[in-house]
Amino acid sequence: MHKFDFENQTAIITGGAQGFGLDIAKRFLESGCNVFLWDIDENLLKKTIDEINNPNLNYNVVDVSKYAEVEKFVGEITNKYKIDILINNAGITGPTDPLWKYDVEMWNKIVQINLMGTFNCCRAIVPNMIKNNYGRIVNVASVAGKDGNANASAYSSGKAGAIGLTKALGKELADKDIAVNAVTPAGAKTRILDQMSKEHVQRMLSKVPRGRFLEIHEFTSLVCWLSSQENTFSTAAVFDISGGRSTY
Residue from 19, 52, 48 nearest 60 by CA:
48
The pLDDT-based confidence of 208 (bands split at 50, 70, 90) is: confident
Rounded CA-CA distance 62/83 in Å is 17
pLDDT reported for residue 92: 94
Rounded CA-CA distance 118/108 in Å is 15
* Mean pLDDT score across all residues of the chain: 93
User: Using an 8 Å Cβ cutoff, are 236 and 208 in contact?
Assistant: no
Is 81's pLDDT higher than 70?
Answer: yes
DSSP secondary structure letter of residue 125: H
Backbone angles phi, psi at 11, to 5 degrees: -125, 145
Show which residues are catalytic.
155
Higher pLDDT, 228 or 149: 228
pLDDT reported for residue 196: 62
Q: What is the pTM of this model?
A: 0.93
CATH superfamily of 10-241: NAD(P)-binding Rossmann-like Domain (3.40.50.720)
In the chain, where does DSSP find H-type helix? 19-30, 42-52, 67-78, 104-111, 117-132, 143-147, 153-172, 198-206, 216-227
pLDDT reported for residue 245: 77
pLDDT, tens only, 93-134: 999 999 999 999 999 999 999 999 999 999 999 999 999 999
With pLDDT > 90 as the criterion, what percentage of the chain qualifies? 83
In a 3-state reduction of DSSP, which class is residue 92?
coil
